[in-house]
Amino acid sequence: MRGMPLPISLLRWLRSRLLMGLLALLLPSVECASVQAASAAPPLSVTQVKPGVFVHIGALEDWAPSNGGDVANIGFVVGSRCVAVIDTGGTPAVGQALRDTIERTTSLPVCYVINTHAHPDHMLGNVAFSAGAPPPQFVASARFSATLAARESYYLNALQREFGMHLTRAQVIYPSIAVEHSLDLDLGDRILTLQAWPTAHTDNDLTVYDRRTRTLFASDLLFVQHLPALDGSLRGWVCAIAELKRLDVATVVPGHGPVSLDWPIVMDAQDEYLNGLLRDTRAAIQQHLTIQQAVDRIGIPSGSHWLLTERFQRRNVTAAYAELEWEDDDPKSPVGSSACPQQNFGTGSTS
Contact residues toward Zn ion (CB under 5 A) are 119, 220
Cβ-based nearer residue to Zn ion, 220 or 271: 220
Cβ-based nearer residue to Zn ion, 20 or 237: 237
**CB-neighbour burial class of residue 204 (10 A; exposed 0-12, middle 13-18, buried 19+):** buried
Q: 340 vs 105, 124, 266, 277, 349, CA distance in Å?
A: 42, 32, 21, 18, 21
Residue type, 49: V
CB of 22 to Zn ion, least distance (A): 36
CB of 255 to Zn ion, least distance (A): 6
d(Cα 109, Cα 83) in Å, to the nearest integer? 6
d(Cα 303, Cα 301) in Å, to the nearest integer? 6
d(Cα 76, Cα 85) in Å, to the nearest integer? 4
CB of 220 to Zn ion, least distance (A): 4
Bridge partners for 14 per DSSP:
none
Percentages of the chain per state (helix, strand, coil), in multiples of 5: 40, 20, 45
Query: In terms of DSSP bridges, do strands 206-210 and 191-196 run parallel, antiparallel, or are they unpaired?
Result: antiparallel
CB of 159 to Zn ion, least distance (A): 16
Name the residue among 26, 22, 34 with its Cα closest to residue 89: 34
Cβ-based nearer residue to Zn ion, 87 or 100: 87
Could you give the dihedral angle defined by the CA atoms of residues 34, 36, 39 and 44, in that order, rounded to the nearest 10 degrees?
A: -10
CB of 243 to Zn ion, least distance (A): 19
Cβ-based nearer residue to Zn ion, 221 or 284: 221
Cβ-based nearer residue to Zn ion, 139 or 222: 222
Residue type, 316: N
Bridge partners for 194 per DSSP:
183, 208
Cβ-based nearer residue to Zn ion, 151 or 212: 151
Cβ-based nearer residue to Zn ion, 131 or 142: 142
